[in-house]
Chains A and B, each alone.
Chain A
Amino acid sequence: MIDAVVRIQHLAHTYLAGTPLAAQALIDASLTVLHGSVTAVVGPNGAGKSTLLHFINALVRPASDDQVQVLGLDTHTPSLDIGVLRRRVGLVMQYPQQQLFERFVGDDIAFGPRQEGLQGEALRKRVFEAMEVVGLNPLTFIDRHTFSLSGGEMRRVALAGVLAMQPELLILDEVTTGLDPRGRKQVHELLRNLRDRGITVVFASNDMDEVLEIADHMAVLYQGRTVAEDIPTVLFNSMQSGQWGLLPPAAMRIRQGLVQAGIPLPPGISSLSGLEEALWQVWRD
């Protein structure tokens, strides 16, 4: 496969290895992400999703080669220039407040572009664009203190800071958590746009509706192992409810409830609008 942007094979990772606090977060994780796709990583709390995503940004590096390849580079290679890798791979962390470090919102978002040498009007434009795209009004927020924000606002700033770097591979750790419904829709829209422009997205999520809606491909992590990898509709249809700590998306659960009550609905419905269409057919007759 030539166009695999991320290829992770049999990856294991132990936090604080060699100390009595050692915790094995990954045992045998694999993930393949194709160029221009949107890939979801799901799994119960503590399964190792965040750890896996940190590997893609080379925040953590594997113990041997051929385990993690990102954009054709093996992150184990000691001489690898990580700066070059990170210019192309943007990571939004699970806790937004952990990612923000400048005092003002504007400075924080400008941190990445500034290093690229952007200045003056161009920098300003880049920052404004990033803020608008995540639904932050630049005029009210650009001079706010980073830490005097509500939870959702911080999340948006964190996302804007990474978007402003215009990475070609975007890694998002539960990026819609804490966003209001409109914000969530905006982000979904944004991810679809990015994909259409050839940008690859990998995201972790606990929201199965979201996974179904925007992911082309998904991987399930369970206790540090990749236990399934497939197209979301296929996977959700074949999986038992409650398996791996997951529940099917709302549309599928609703469909099942209706079918059990004797309402004849065709199989393979996976979205709310599809369900609406099917019900419309049923009721019209």
Chain B
Amino acid sequence: MVYFPSLGSYNDRDGINVEAFISLAPCRRETVFFTMAEPFIKVENLFYSYEVPSMEPIPALVDISLRIMPGEFLAIVGHNGSGKSTLAKCISGLLTPTQGQVSVLGLNTRQPANQRQIRAAVGLVLQNPDNQFVAAVVEEEVAFGAENLGIPQDSLRRRVDQALLDTGLQQERYANPHNLSAGLKSRLAIAGILAIAPQCLILDESTALLDPLSRASLLLMLHELHRSGLAIVTITHYMDEVIDTDRVIVLDAGKLVIEGSPRQVFQQEARLREIGLDLPPVGQIARGLRTRGLDIGYPLTVEELIQAHQEHKYD
């Protein structure tokens, strides 16, 4: 019933100081363009089609090329069925490309011998938290991935405790995963991946089933993990979760159609609307004001809106 409490002093559930993370903008930074470093994940001309018996194959990804740098925070957005989950499964090596190459840390995902290393490095939290539990006790469920990696018992215990704390599941430690509510199941799925301690964390709509406070604190935690050096890839339909990332890619019917910093992407309003996406709330207000003839630029956060206001005032 708790949220992600290890992140600050807000352990009391009611009446806490939430203002701190309401804007969800704890670490605004300039977009860094990684050109020198070796990419962490390299996707080259990736095609993926699902084979379905007695039907034409369904093309889910079409000619995607992409690099994800170590320590980068990447967001993937796109309409339903645009291929986001498929892309996530391809870059974590769960699906083998129909055509093209995906490599993680220089290891090709096609090679079965590389799989263990790849999956230890890239942790994917699947979209559907139901039906993916192996153990009959929450605690062992969290440990499953780390056990597979042969983590010695004492650090295993530490990791499990930390993951349970981070996802606010301490009280459910001995519960049966199948009997949890939907939101708690999705936290459990996250905890199981956190315990693997991957270098890159991919979350496929993991905030979707969380209550507002848990969602805010999960985002805070992601930024914290990011600051500690993890690469993070988040897939989401909530545009306000995208604002603070380093880079956004937009998929449309399996093709990568827009790529850039959140600011660059959200300036392509017409294009976004065409493919069924929208702006974050502040962006929507600004768009309205611009169409009324106010020149206030493209603010995305409350601070930027205030700044725009002040500049306007002193013009």
Contact = CB atoms under 8 A, between A and B. Distances in A.
Indicate, yes or no, whether A interacts with B: yes
B109 to A, nearest CB: 21
B294 interface: yes
Contacts of B285: 254, 272, 275-276, 279
B151 interface: no
Contacts of B58: 148
A248 to B, nearest CB: 9
B84 to A, nearest CB: 8
B210 to A, nearest CB: 6
Given A23-B179, A180-B276, A243-B14, A95 B237 contact: no
Interface in B257-315: 276-278, 281-282, 284-285, 288-289, 292, 294, 296, 302-303, 305-306, 309, 312
Nearest to A247: B212
Nearest to B12: A242
Given A148-B58, A257-B306, A46 B181 contact: yes
B292 A254 contact: no
Nearest to B313: A283
Interface string A1-20: 00000000000000110000
Interface residues of A, number: 61
Interface string A174-186: 1001111111100
Nearest to B309: A263
Contacts of A182: 79, 276-278
A283 B23 contact: no
B213 interface: yes
Nearest to A98: B130
Interface string A249-260: 011011001100
A150 B85 contact: yes
A208 interface: yes
Contacts of A145: 52, 55
Interface residue range, chain B: 35 or more
A20 to B, nearest CB: 11
Contact of B302 (A46, A181, A208, A257): A257
Contacts of A177: 208-209
A50 B182 CA distance: 9
A242 B187 CA distance: 19
Contact of A258 (B3, B55, B294, B302): B302
A183 B302 contact: no
A32 B136 CA distance: 38
B215 interface: yes
Interface in B221-260: 237, 239-240
Interface of A: 15-16, 21, 23, 43-46, 50, 94-95, 97-98, 143-145, 148-153, 155-156, 174, 177-184, 206, 208-209, 223, 240-247, 250-251, 253-254, 257-258, 261, 263, 272-273, 275-276, 279-280, 282-283
Given A181-B276, A258-B305, A272-B281, 14 more contacts: A23-B179, A145-B55, A148-B58, A153-B81, A182-B277, A184-B237, A223-B1, A240-B14, A241-B19, A246-B212, A257-B303, A279-B289, A279-B309, A280-B292
Interface of B: 1, 3, 13-19, 22-23, 50, 52, 55, 58, 78-81, 85, 127-128, 130-131, 176, 179-184, 187, 205, 208-216, 237, 239-240, 276-278, 281-282, 284-285, 288-289, 292, 294, 296, 302-303, 305-306, 309, 312
The 7 closest A-B pairs by CB, nearest first: A45-B183, A152-B80, A182-B276, A242-B18, A257-B302, A181-B278, A250-B281
19 contacts: A43-B211, A44-B1, A45-B181, A45-B183, A46-B1, A50-B181, A50-B182, A95-B130, A95-B182, A151-B205, A174-B209, A243-B15, A245-B13, A254-B281, A258-B302, A258-B305, A272-B284, A280-B289, A282-B309
